[in-house]
Structure 1
Amino acid sequence: MKLLHVDSSALGEHSVSRMLGAELIEALHQAHPRAQRVYRDLAADPLAHWSPPAAEVEAEALRSAAVLEEFLAADVLVVGAPMYNFSIPSALKAWIDRIAVAGKTFRYGPNGPEGLAGGKRVIVVSTRGGRYSEGAGLAMDHQESYLRTVFGFLGIEDVEFIRAEGLAMGEATRSAALTDARLLITRPLAKAA
C-alpha cells in the first residue's frame, strides 16, 4: 500500500489539520507497517499557481510532473484541508490543479467527463473554526462540496471526511471536536487493508 499525505495549512505547529492528519497517518502506518509513505507540505514547499505549460519554467514543469506521479502512485491519500474563508487554502487548490490533468486523471468522452484515477481512497482531515456541516452554516461550506466534486470528477468514489469543527467556538467546543475527530481516526483502519 502506498500512502500520500498532503498538508495545506499555513499554521505550522498550531495547525489542527496537521496534527490530526499526522495522527491518522501514524495509525494507518501502525496498522500497515509495510506501507510506503510520501509526504508533501504545500505550505512549506508551495507550488506555483497553475499557468499554461508554455509559460511554466522547466523546474516548475518537473515539479508538476512529480506531484502528478505521487498522486497516481498512491492507493490512499490523507489530505489535511483546513477551511479558509469557506473553502480550501489556495496552496491546496494549486496542488489540485496539478493532479487534474486531461488524459491522465480524467478525459471527456461521448457521454461527458470520465475519471481515470479510480480505485484510490481519499481521507480528508477537515478543520473549521465554526460549524458548517449543518444548519445555516451548511450553505457556506464550499470546502467539503468542492473536494467531493473534484475527487469524484477524477473517478475517486471512496472519499471520507474526518471533520473537526467549531474549533474557534470556545475551549469546551474545541475539546469535544478534537475528541470526536480522534474517534473517527480509528474507523479508516478497517477499510485501508
Structure 2
Amino acid sequence: MKLLHIDASALGAHSVSRGLTAAVVAEFVRNHPGIEVTYRDLHATPLAPWALPAGENDPNVAEAEKVMDEFLAADVVVIGAPMYNFGISSTLKAWIDRIAVAGKTFRYTSAGPEGLAGGKRLIVASSRGGIYTAGSPAAAMDFQEPYLRAVFGFLGVTDIEFVRAEGVAMGDDHKNQAIGGAVAGIGSLLRKAA
C-alpha cells in the first residue's frame, strides 16, 4: 500500500491541519505494516505557478511529472487543507493544478468528462477558524469542502472523507475540543476501511 501525505498550511508548528494529517498517517502506519509513505510539504517547497512549459528541459516539467507520478501511485492520499479565506491555500491549488491533467487523471468523452484516477481513498484533514458545516450560519461561505469534493470527484476519486476541526480561532477551549474531536474520529476512519 502507498500513501501520499500532503501538507499545505503556512503555520508550521502552529498548524492544526498538520497535526491532523500527522495523526492520520501515524494511524495508517500503525495499522498497515510496510505501508510506503511519500511526503510533500507544499508550503516549505511550493510549486511554481502553472503555465505551459517552456520546453522539454524546463525544470517545471520534471517536477510536474513527479507530482503526477506520486498522486497516481498512491492508494491513499491524506491532504492537510486549512481553510484560507473560505477556500483552500494557493499552494494546495497549485498542486491540484498539477494533478488535474486531461489524458492523465480525466478525459472528455462524448458522454461528458470521465475521471481516470479512481480507486483511491482520499482523507482531507480540514481546519477552520470558524464553523462552516451544513446548518451553520456561515455554511454558504464554505468553498473549501465543496471544491475539494468536486475536483477530486471529477478526477474519479469518490472515496472521500473529512477529518474536520472547526472553530479553532474561537478560543482555546473550543480549539482544544475541536482538535480532540477530530483526532478521536481518526481511529474510526481506519476501522471503517478494515
Same fold (TM over 0.5): yes
Which letter does structure 2 place at the counterpart of 1:123? I
User: Displacement, 1:10?
Assistant: 0.5
User: Displacement, 1:49?
Assistant: 1.3
Rounded Cα–Cα distance in structure 2 between residues aligned with 1:39 and 1:56: 26
User: Displacement, 1:127?
Assistant: 0.1
SS at the partner of 1:186? helix
Rounded Cα–Cα distance in structure 2 between residues aligned with 1:19 and 1:145: 23
Residue matched to 1:46: 46
User: Displacement, 1:57?
Assistant: 6.3
1:148-175 deviations in Å (ceiling 9; x for gaps):
0000000001000000000000111111
Which letter does structure 2 place at the counterpart of 1:167? V
1:110-160 deviations in Å (ceiling 9; x for gaps):
111000000000000000000000322110000000000000000001000
Number of matched pairs: 193
Moved more, 181-190 or 52-61: 52-61
Rounded Cα–Cα distance in structure 2 between residues aligned with 1:37 and 1:188: 18
1:84-128 deviations in Å (ceiling 9; x for gaps):
000000000000000001000000001110000000000000000
Conserved 8 A contact 2:53-2:60: no
Rounded Cα–Cα distance in structure 2 between residues aligned with 1:24 and 1:50: 29
The root-mean-square deviation of aligned C-alpha atoms, in Å, is 1.3
User: Are 1:99 and 2:99 an aligned pair?
Assistant: yes
Conserved 8 A contact 2:122-2:159: yes
Residue matched to 2:137: 136
* Structure 1 outlier segments of 4+, above 4 Å: none
Rounded Cα–Cα distance in structure 2 between residues aligned with 1:49 and 1:43: 13
SS at the partner of 1:84? coil
Rounded Cα–Cα distance in structure 1 between residues aligned with 2:116 and 2:12: 33
User: Displacement, 1:54?
Assistant: 3.4
Moved more, 66-75 or 47-56: 47-56
Rounded Cα–Cα distance in structure 1 between residues aligned with 2:52 and 2:93: 16
- Spell out the pairing of 1:1-193 with structure 2 (5 A cutoff): 1-54=1-54, 58-134=58-134, 135-193=136-194
Conserved 8 A contact 1:76-1:192: no
1:63-87 deviations in Å (ceiling 9; x for gaps):
0000000000000000000000000
SS at the partner of 1:118? coil
Which letter does structure 1 place at the counterpart of 2:174? T
Moved more, 52-61 or 143-152: 52-61
SS at the partner of 2:123? strand
- Unpaired runs of 5+ residues, structure 2, are none
Rounded Cα–Cα distance in structure 1 between residues aligned with 2:81 and 2:193: 20
